[in-house]
Amino acid sequence: MWQQATNRRRKHVLEWLTEKVILVTALISILSILLIFYFVGRKAVPILTNEVIQQTANLAEFFRPNGTTPDGHTTFIWQPISERPKYSFIPLLLGTLKATIVAMLVSVPLALLAALYTTEYAPRQVREYIKPAIELLAGVPSVVLGFFALVVMATWLQKLFQFEMRLNAVVSGCALGLAIIPVVYTVAEDALSAVPRALREASFALGASRAQTLLRVILPAALPGIFAGIVLGFGRAVGETMIVVMASGNAAITSWNPADSIRTMSATVAAELAEVVYGSAHYHTLFAIGALLFIITFVINSIGDWVIGRLNTRLQGAKR
Amino acid sequence: MQRARYFAVLLICIGLLCACAKRVPQPRHQPNASAKTSNSITIKGSDTMVLLGQWWAENYQQAHPQLIVQVNGGGSGTGIAALLNGTTDITQSSRPLRDSERSEFRAKYNHELIELKVALDGLGIYVHESNPLNELTLAQVREIYAGRITDWQNVGGSPGKILLYSRENNSGTYEFFKEHVLEKEDFTPRTQTLSGNAAVINAVSQDISGIGYGGVAFAKGVKTLAIKRDSQSPAIPPLFEYVTSGAYPISRFLYWYLPNEPTGEVKKLVDWVLSQAGQNALKEIGFFPIGQTEHVATSN
């Protein structure tokens, strides 16, 4: 009797302990996110509070036209080392946006069609090779992708489109696209295969062809999940650094032309933070860029998560 | 639920941001420089000078195999930061230290750092090998990089847009160029920035309409232009005799900075670098020796 009771108590303690250990590990990851946000924020805040720094770097400087082009138009300029430092975020935001849009245009169709093929058409054996192959792409280090873009893709694309600048938004966008294909593919594939079998069978039973079923039944049912994949890929593209450092040309040009070189926010932080004068306006501005990036990706990921939540409720509704 | 949880995290983050707004961050790192006694020497700094430092290290180590000399790049700024933090024995810099950096050092260590001119570097203006152009005036180079001249035919070349390549703004070469060629004007935003001398050379060598700048030592696979000080003066190519005599208009000193008067192994290395043997080694990798009078007193 007594022996049994201690055994049970020991079991109980062990269970309690396991649970707490798991809880702590979960909390550590949350805590690290909060700490990152706290420290990035703390370094960015002098932009809003410190008067000396605000003389050169402030919100108006970041978002209003702050210089002129060589031919005399007012424009937005990022030129932190200068007689009068110019810290406009606009060319950097524009550069990030251009690369991201190109990346989405490249990766979304490819990833979606691949996902459709693997879930709907591919025989089982083929699927078992395609899936891990695409997911392997996620394991390629971005520095390798960047190098590939710099050396190979830039030359091809320049020949193809007659680009004036060899490294530009299209080249870096295409390389970014390669990086986010697995992100979009994985989530979209999950969403497509999560569509209940009953829906499919009902559609066939009503006499719909394979293509009709795919377009009218399966795609709409999986749409929220596909959208979530796209949003996650977008978030990844915005924050990706190494590829754009290597393949974007790093010229902060304020223009919508995708054939111009770009300088993204992440690349700017990566290139300049290492050697900026500690505590200077430039230093805190770089942290402000970091904070802005953090906020953008956080918001985008929140949207993605929210959409996945919707997908789940919707599919659970469909089961009944 | 999901959404509510996300908002909760967002609120906490905003709360933290507000909380930290009130504090005045004043972190200061402690000096941790200590006299190195082991037989290894760390050299850090300018990317332009990495090759040079390694060349010296290799040559010196042949005669002193028990000594380990580590040479790292990262840029002049990185090297100077390392000097301030006491994590390097010698800093290589392709620009003289700013007054602010000197006073920061003084404030931290209560004495002046040691500055040595160790070599001379000609800054070459590179173009593609097939570019018919052979010379530019300093003013033309400035106009090109400020974005006021955008076509090769305006400087005597064949028609075509000029594509500009430059270094990242943390490089000593960038600062030197900005100060001495651009006369402190801004680079045009269309300038593409690359992260090293080799990257600039590589880009220009592949780009028929490209122009770049950097140490003459690196100029392989590209054409370096002869430079005229003004439109009347002769065009001077960045050759040994013209750079050392000062006739070539874009040249600069390269520096070593030491936190203290050199002693022991560091002193021996410094003396060797400034000696005839060390200076002769420069020529083989495309840098230029400086006249013996240019050195600071420690060299004797």
Q: How far apart are alpha carbons A115 and A133 in whole angstroms? A: 12
pLDDT tier at B14 (50, 70, 90 boundaries)? low
CB contact under 8 A, A253 and B13: no
pLDDT tier at B166 (50, 70, 90 boundaries)? very high
Among B67-71, B101-105, B168-172, the range scoring the smallest mean pLDDT is B168-172
Residue A23 has pLDDT above 70, yes or no: yes
Does A116 lie in the same domain as A15?
A: no
CB B169 within 8 A of CB A80: yes
Does A63 lie in the same domain as A5?
A: no
Structural domains in chain B, CATH included, are: 41-120+254-285 (3.40.190.10), 122-245 (3.40.190.10)
pLDDT tier at A82 (50, 70, 90 boundaries)? confident
Residue A235 has pLDDT above 80, yes or no: yes
pLDDT tier at A71 (50, 70, 90 boundaries)? confident
Q: What is the mean pLDDT of chain B?
A: 81
pLDDT tier at A67 (50, 70, 90 boundaries)? confident
Q: What is the mean pLDDT of residues A236-257?
A: 91
Q: How far apart are alpha carbons A128 and B23 in whole angstroms? A: 56
Q: What is the mean pLDDT of residues A312-319?
A: 64
Residue A244 has pLDDT above 50, yes or no: yes
Q: What is the DSSP string of A69-127?
A: -TTS-EE--EE-SSSS-EE-SHHHHHHHHHHHHHHHHHHHHHHHHHHHIIIIIS-HHHH
Does A250 lie in the same domain as A175?
A: yes
Residues A171-199: tens digit of each pLDDT: 999 999 999 999 999 989 998 998 888 98
pLDDT tier at A317 (50, 70, 90 boundaries)? low
Domain membership flag for residue A137 = yes
CB contact under 8 A, B168 and A272: yes
The C-alpha of B52 sits at a distance from chain A's nearest C-alpha, in angstroms, of: 21
The C-alpha of A160 sits at a distance from chain B's nearest C-alpha, in angstroms, of: 16
Comparing alpha-carbon positions, the chain B residue that sits nearest to A167 is B192
Domain count of the fold of chain A:
2
Does A279 lie in the same domain as A169?
A: yes
> Residue A148 has what pLDDT?
92
Q: How far apart are alpha carbons B99 and A96 in whole angstroms? A: 36
> Residue A277 has what pLDDT?
76
Which two three-digit tokens encode residue B277? 């043997």
Q: What is the dihedral of CA A279, A285, A288, A292, to 10 degrees?
A: -160
Q: Is A250 left (phi over 0), alpha (psi -120 to 50) or beta?
A: left
Residue B38 has pLDDT above 80, yes or no: no
Does A306 lie in the same domain as A163?
A: yes
CB contact under 8 A, B169 and A80: yes
Domain membership flag for residue A43 = no
Domain membership flag for residue A89 = yes
Does A276 lie in the same domain as A202?
A: yes
Distance of CA B265 to the CA centre of its chain: 26
- Which of residues A114 and A55 earns the better pLDDT score? A114
Domain membership flag for residue A160 = yes
Nearest CB neighbour to A38, from listed B2, B20, B184: B20
Does A215 lie in the same domain as A132?
A: yes
Q: How many CB atoms lie within 10 A of CB A126?
A: 12
Best of B92, B154, B192 to disrupt the A interface (most A CBs within 10 Å) is: B192
Residue B28 has pLDDT above 80, yes or no: no
Residues A193-229: tens digit of each pLDDT: 988 889 889 999 999 998 899 988 898 888 888 888 8
Q: What is the mean pLDDT of residues B79-96?
A: 88
Q: How many CB atoms lie within 10 A of CB B238?
A: 24
- Which of residues B21 and B39 earns the better pLDDT score? B39
Q: What is the mean pLDDT of residues B93-98?
A: 87
Cβ contacts of B161 on chain A, cutoff 8 Å? 164
Domain membership flag for residue A38 = no
Domain membership flag for residue A14 = yes
Q: What is the ipTM of this complex?
A: 0.78
Cβ contacts of B79 on chain A, cutoff 8 Å? none
Cβ contacts of B194 on chain A, cutoff 8 Å? 250
Domain membership flag for residue A126 = yes
Q: How far apart are alpha carbons B164 and B184 in whole angstroms? A: 17
Nearest CB neighbour to A70, from listed B2, B23, B147: B147
CB contact under 8 A, A49 and B21: yes
SS3 B210: strand
pLDDT tier at B231 (50, 70, 90 boundaries)? confident
pLDDT tier at B8 (50, 70, 90 boundaries)? low
CB contact under 8 A, A305 and B2: yes
Does A1 lie in the same domain as A150?
A: no
pLDDT tier at B168 (50, 70, 90 boundaries)? confident
> Residue B27 has what pLDDT?
38
Containing structural domain, residue A64 = 59-319
Q: Can you give the CATH number for the domain in which A163 is found?
A: 1.10.3720.10
Q: How far apart are alpha carbons B240 and B46 in whole angstroms? A: 22
CB contact under 8 A, A42 and B206: no
SS3 B66: coil
Comparing alpha-carbon positions, the chain B residue that sits nearest to A72 is B148
> Residue B257 has what pLDDT?
93
CB B126 within 8 A of CB B212: yes
Does A280 lie in the same domain as A181?
A: yes
Domain membership flag for residue A20 = yes
> Residue A1 has what pLDDT?
59
Best of B24, B174, B190, B208 to disrupt the A interface (most A CBs within 10 Å) is: B190
CB contact under 8 A, B17 and A37: yes
Q: In what order do the strands lie in the sheet with B226-228?
A: B135-137, B226-228, B235-236
Cβ contacts of B174 on chain A, cutoff 8 Å? 81
> Residue B19 has what pLDDT?
52
Percent of chain A with pLDDT over 70: 96
Does A104 lie in the same domain as A222?
A: yes
Cβ contacts of A70 on chain B, cutoff 8 Å? 146-148, 150, 188
CB contact under 8 A, B20 and A48: no
The C-alpha of B106 sits at a distance from chain A's nearest C-alpha, in angstroms, of: 16
pLDDT tier at B36 (50, 70, 90 boundaries)? very low
Q: How many CB atoms lie within 10 A of CB A100?
A: 26
Q: What is the mean pLDDT of residues A255-265?
A: 93
> Residue B169 has what pLDDT?
82
- Which of residues A176 and B284 earns the better pLDDT score? A176
Nearest CB neighbour to B189, from listed A37, A46, A253: A253
Q: How far apart are alpha carbons A210 and A199 in whole angstroms? A: 13
Residues B114-154: tens digit of each pLDDT: 999 998 888 899 999 999 999 999 999 999 999 999 999 99
Residues A37-57: tens digit of each pLDDT: 899 999 999 988 888 888 888
Does A3 lie in the same domain as A123?
A: no
> Residue B22 has what pLDDT?
45
Does A67 lie in the same domain as A3?
A: no
> Residue B291 has what pLDDT?
66
Q: How many residue contacts between A and B have a Cβ separation below 8 Å?
A: 115
The C-alpha of B139 sits at a distance from chain A's nearest C-alpha, in angstroms, of: 16
Residue A94 has pLDDT above 80, yes or no: yes
Residues A157-173: tens digit of each pLDDT: 999 999 888 889 999 99
Q: How far apart are alpha carbons B28 and A241 in whole angstroms? A: 29
Residue with tokens 């949207």: A303
Determine how β-strand A78-79 pairs with β-strand B235-236: unpaired
Q: What is the mean pLDDT of chain A?
A: 88
SS3 B39: coil
CB contact under 8 A, B188 and A250: no
CB contact under 8 A, B1 and A309: yes
Q: Is the Cα torsion angle A265, A271, A274, A278 positive or negative in sign?
A: negative
